[in-house]
C-alpha cells in the first residue's frame, strides 16, 4: 500500500467534509484487525475508500474486503483512490444501496464494519449476524451519534436515527452469542465479538 497516497486521500476527504473514520477510532480498529488478520471483511459505507484502504493492510494473505456504497460519485472516487493506494487486488466495491444489496450476499465474513445510514443499523445488524463467520466480529461506527444516543434529549430532528441506534445497541447487548463493548472514541464505536 502507498502510504503517501493514503495521506493525500485523507487530507482531501477531510477538506471536502466527507465523514471518514476518525483517527482515534481507527487506532482501536487497527489493533483489533492486527490481532485478527481477517480473510474477509465486509464494510457498509465506503465513501471514498479511506477506511477500506486502511483496513486492507491487516488482511490475511489473499484476503478481500467487500465494501458497499450507494453514491455513484463516491464509488468513482473510491475506485481511483484504491488504485492510487495500490490495493486494487484487495478491495471490491459493490455499488448500490446496502438495504437492497445485503440480502443478495451470502458469503461469510470475519469482520463486518457498519458505517452508513444510522437509521438502518438494526437492519444492517440482522444481515451482519446472518453473514458473520464463527469467531467473527461486528464493528459499528457513530453509535453514540454526538452524544444524542445516551442523552434523554429526543426532540432533535435526527430522532429516528437516534431511536434506531438505541435499538441497535439494545439488540447487540441482548444477543447471548455476542460479547459487546461500546467505546466513547470518535462518534462512538461498538465492538461485538461472537463467543
Ligand atoms: N467508511 C468510510 C466513511 C463512510 S461515510 C471511511 O471511514 O472512510 C458513510 C457512507 O455510507 C457515505 O458515503 C454514504 O453515501 C454511504 N451510505 C449511507 N447509507 C448507505 C446505504 N444504505 N447503502 C450504501 N451506502 C450508504
Ligand atoms: Mg463513521
Structural domains of the chain sorted by starting position, each given as residue range(s) with its CATH number in brackets: 3-194 (3.40.50.150)
Q: In sequence order, what are the residues at sequence separation of 6 or more whose Cβ sits closer than 8 angstroms to the Cβ of residue 184?
A: 144
Decide: 66 in ligand 1 pocket, CB within 6 A: no
Judged against a pLDDT cut of 90, whether residue 146 lies above it is answered with no
Q: Which ligand is nearest to the CA of 121?
A: 1
- Indicate which atom in ligand 1 lies nearest the CA of residue 18: 5
- Indicate which atom in ligand 1 lies nearest the CA of residue 54: 8
Residue 153 is predicted with a pLDDT of 65
Give CA separation, 23 vs 2, 137, 157, 184, in Å: 18, 20, 28, 13
d(CA 112, CA 69): 14
Decide: 68 in ligand 1 pocket, CB within 6 A: yes
Residue 59 is predicted with a pLDDT of 98
CA of 116 to the centre of ligand 2 (A): 7
Interval 83-135: pLDDT, tens: 999 999 999 999 999 999 999 999 999 999 999 999 999 999 999 999 999 99
CA of 141 to the centre of ligand 2 (A): 5
Q: Using 50, 70 and 90 to split pLDDT, how confident is the model at 156?
A: low
Q: Residue 157, class by beta-carbon neighbours within 10 Å (0-12 exposed, 13-18 middle, 19+ buried)?
A: exposed
Q: Containing H/E element for 54?
A: helix 50-56
Q: Angle at the Cα of 44 (from 43 to 49), degrees rounded to 5?
A: 65
**Would you put residue 135 in left (φ > 0), alpha (ψ -120 to 50) or beta?**
left
Amino acid at each position: 500500500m502507498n502510504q503517501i497516497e493514503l495521506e493525500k486521500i485523507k487530507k482531501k476527504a477531510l477538506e471536502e467534509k466527507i465523514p471518514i473514520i476518525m483517527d482515534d477510532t481507527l487506532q482501536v480498529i487497527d489493533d483489533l484487525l492486527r490481532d485478527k488478520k481477517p480473510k474477509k471483511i465486509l464494510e457498509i459505507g465506503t465513501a471514498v475508500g479511506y477506511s477500506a484502504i486502511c483496513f486492507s493492510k491487516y488482511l490475511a494473505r489473499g484476503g478481500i474486503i467487500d465494501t458497499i456504497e450507494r453514491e455513484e460519485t463516491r464509488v468513482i472516487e473510491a475506485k481511483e483512490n484504491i488504485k492510487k493506494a495500490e490495493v486494487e487486488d484487495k478491495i471490491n466495491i459493490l455499488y448500490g444501496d446496502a438495504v437492497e444489496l445485503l440480502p443478495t450476499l451470502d458469503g461469510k465474513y470475519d469482520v463486518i464494519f457498519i458505517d452508513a445510514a444510522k437509521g438502518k443499523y438494526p437492519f444492517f445488524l440482522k444481515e451482519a449476524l446472518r453473514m458473520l463467520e464463527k469467531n467473527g466480529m461486528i464493528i459499528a461506527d457513530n453509535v453514540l451519534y454526538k452524544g444524542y444516543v445516551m442523552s434523554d434529549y429526543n426532540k432533535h430532528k435526527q430522532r429516528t436515527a437516534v431511536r434506531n441506534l438505541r435499538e441497535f445497541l439494545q439488540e447487540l447487548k441482548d444477543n447471548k452469542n455476542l460479547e459487546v463493548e461500546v467505546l466513547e472514541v470518535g462518534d462512538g464505536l461498538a465492538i461485538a465479538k461472537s463467543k
